[in-house]
Structure formats: C-alpha cells, structure tokens
Amino acid sequence: MMKFCKILNICYEERSFLRKMTLENPFSGSRKWKGLSFAATLIALSAVVLAWNVTWNAPISLVIESIDLKVYLEQNCTTPVTTIDFGNIETVGTWYTKYLYIRNEGVGPVRIRWNSTRASVTDLISDHWQYYVQYSGYFDISGYTLSANAVFATQYRMNVSHLVDPGSYSWTLYLGAEHY
C-alpha cells in the first residue's frame, strides 16, 4: 500500500513539475518575445483576412436553341431564366446547385440535349445538368424525353476546384431539343 502511495506522490510531483514548465514562459519578460508574438499574431490575422477576400464568381449565360423549351426558376413557371448566377463562391470543393425547371411549350414530345462551353474556360470547374430519380440517383438531362406542356425539375450543379485562381469565370449553356 505504501509503495502505491509513493508512486502516486511521484506522479503528482512530476505532473506539477510539468505544469510549471508549460505554464511558465522563459521569455515572458523579454521584449524580443513580445515582438515575435505580436508579429506572429499579425501574420495569422492577415492570412484570415486574405482567405475571406478570395472569391470566385461564375455568371453563366443560358441560350435556348429550341422555341419549344423554356427554363424557369420555379415549378409554376413564372420567372424565366436567361442567366444563372451563383454569386460569390467562397468555399471551393463544394457542389453548388441551382434548381431549374424546363417546360416544353410545344405541341409534341421532345428529346432534350444540352452543352456547356465551361471546358473552354477551365477544366478545373466541373458542371452537370441533371435530374433526380428517387431510389435511382442523378442522371444527365441529355436524352430525356419531355412531353408537350410538361415541366421537368432539374439541377444545374457546379464545383470549383481548390486549384482555380480566384476571379470571375463565365461560360454559356446551350439547351436544345429534337422532335420525334
């Protein structure tokens, strides 16, 4: 029993010695230490401010090549879309999504196709225009058949790589349809 207590006392003494070592700063009274501490804090704050000011912007034009198709911001089709603006993007490596509704205003069914000029701008930004099927996942809208007067819920998604230089990037989406 005495050995056990003696071991505990040694551990306690060692712990209190370590606590003294870590809490007491050997440079606490030194002007040199205070200057270095101030400089390190200033550099860290500058890095944080720079990180907040680094943004990406991606205004995207939408060209509809078929008179039968229209794109809207909401399912009831009241606000037509001609540009897609994601605003300032501050977090890279994240998928940003815009919900878009395509309406076939023609008299017959059409097969949808789309294309993007994004690859000619940079290959460090990814984009997808897709739709979701419950229990199956996401699918590209190209090839989807849309009946007359039907509304199709889609998602245009974009991901900015951490390797992209900050700035404004713009490209064009082309939406078309084939009658059959």
| pTM, full prediction | 0.68
| pLDDT tens by residue, 104-121 | 999 999 999 999 999 999
CA nearest neighbour of 156 among 71, 90, 76, 65: 71
| pLDDT tens by residue, 24-37 | 445 555 555 555 56
Chain position carrying tokens 């505990």: 8
Indicate the SS3 state at residue 154.
strand
Tell whether the model's pLDDT for residue 2 goes beyond 50.
no
Which comes out higher in pLDDT, residue 165 or 45? 165
Domain 55-179 fold is Immunoglobulin-like (2.60.40)
For residues 10-19, give the mean pLDDT. 41
Which comes out higher in pLDDT, residue 46 or 147? 147
* Domain residue extents for the chain: 2-52, 55-179
| Spatial separation of the C-alpha atoms in residues 64 and 60, rounded to whole Å | 13
